[in-house]
Amino acid sequence: MGFYGTLIGQIQDDTDSSLAREWLEDRVRRRKEYVAMLRRNIQYLVNRDKHKNYFKASVEKKSADLRFVPINMHIQDLLIGPTNAFINDERRRSSKEVSAYDFTTVGAPAAHVYKFNKGGILSYQNRRKKMEAKIADADLDLSKWPEEVREYDDLKWDLQLRMDCAFAQALAALTCSFVRKVEVAIQNPDVIRGEDMLRQISSLGFLFQVESLLSTHGKEIGMLEDMAGSVEHLSCVAFVIQDVRDKPMNRFSFRMSRRKDVADEAGVVKVTVSNKTGAKRSHIKYIVTVQVATSEVELPERLAAGGEIHVTPVLFSQGINEMQTIANNTERAKTELQDIINFRSLKPLKAFCEKYRRLVVAMPNSGMSGLSSSRSRAGSHRYKAMSTDSTLTSPLHLTQDEVTQELRALETSINEAAQSLVKTKRTEILKRSSDLCRELGGGRVTVCKSAKDRTAMSVTLEQVRILQRHHDLPAHRVPATVSVMRSHGVRIENALKNTGKRQFAFNKLQRSLLPEDYRCPDQVGGTGNVS
């Protein structure tokens, strides 16, 4: 038996070696093919860019050529002010009576091209941890690439492919939101307000909140997992703002002259992304450089010197469609994912709020609060805009107590949702997290599968909340106002841009299963296939 045992062992070793060799060859081939695909894809996107073809419609979400491009991404502004401030563009830009609110919307950052048969990034990460523990406990010769190690390496590769795809989309949404905030600041007709906004970003970093309307049923579980993993990874991104007008005109000049008639020229000139070099201990991997041309509003000293702006990404999720109704009425595990995601985002949000509170204490009389915090006697809104507001994204808008109260209310909602035995659609989580992050001066993005239907309902609802809280819209006018916004506003045009129809994809049954304040008017409802 000794001889035969040795012979069998040698045959087994030869077989294992042969399998490992074939696997290694296949491993190299797959990576070469991926690099070749990246090169082709870059050229394809460059050609699209030359023809100004920037848009990826919702129907293209599974396109392999557009896998790294965000789905249906848009920025829209809500401008509110007296009628005479909108006589022409020049009057609007220079008016300090116009309040501006920006809204970024995008389809869920997810690897649609790889499908969701095995879940999304979070599931892959969980399997990776289990396999790492299994390999660590086993006595394996890693140099021979045993089967367990090969499976682990394949899993890591598949995870990387998903992350590349989803992270590129998430990074685009983050950059889009940040760039708009910078534009609002440097184009602000109130110079002090604009500079205060930039000082807050310099002091606190950039809070980036993602509001997710995805359900925890079917393929959307995988999409939600992809989005959660990629959004969390945004913490390794930092922004740098460069003023192109700071460059000397010749060896005797140190700064380009500023003219008071160039406010309309202020804006973002160019955005580039690069890997961060050096500083091995830093968690920052990517630097997004935003080149701007400033006018009257100047960059804070730290930012002008090239200081980094770190990102605090948070994701709060609550499904609202008929699929979430199904999930809520089946096994409890179906709804745990959104509870986990919401709890995970509470920690970084609390940390950001603490930094915010410390800044409020440090600058009690800094003039950085452009909004009064007086509460309406009628209770229709809590933070009333002063007549001189040019934008609500003013720094230090909330007091310490208000931040504490809003954060505690959000945490209570998340805890109640997780502990409840009867699952319901806790839309107050979406409203409280979104309102708090906007009041803190953060960037926001609203997300569903395609940023077309559910997203439209949420954005229009948020716009009406802003009108009610800050611009004295009576409560009895809210339903009619949101109905008009959904029937005739930007969002119905977005549906047309994606599908060729001025309709939202909610049939009567789907519409009836949405929370009441997320329902579209009957006349703009469609035939289903909600996205």
> What does the pLDDT look like over 421-432, one tens digit per residue?
889 999 999 999
End-to-end alpha-carbon separation of the chain, Å? Answer: 66
**Minimum mean pLDDT among 7-11, 501-505, 524-528: which range?**
7-11
| 309 assigned to some structural domain | yes
| 7 within some domain | no
Token couple for 358: 């410390």
Integer CA distances (angstroms), 485 to 105, 459, 497, 520, in order: 16, 10, 17, 10
List strand residue ranges (DSSP E) for 108-233, in order: 206-212
* Residue 79 clears pLDDT 80, i.e. is over it: yes
DSSP β-bridge partners for residue 290: 241, 271
Band the pLDDT of 330: cuts 50, 70, 90: confident
In a domain, 36, yes or no: no
Residue 35 lies in a domain: no
Whether 370 maps to a domain, the answer reads yes
Residue 2 lies in a domain: no
Query: To 10 degrees, the CA torsion angle through 6, 7, 13, 15?
Result: -160
Q: Is the pLDDT of residue 228 over 80?
A: yes
Domain of 291 in residue numbering reads as: 55-524
CB-based contact 395:199 (threshold 8 Å): yes
Domain count, the chain: 1
**The pLDDT of residue 250 is above 50:** no
Look up residue 482 and give its two tokens. Answer: 């949101």
- Antiparallel, parallel or unpaired: β 267-275 and 237-243: unpaired
* Average pLDDT, rounded, for the chain: 88
The bridge status of strand 74-80 relative to strand 99-107 is antiparallel
pLDDT at 240: 98
pLDDT at res. 11: 53
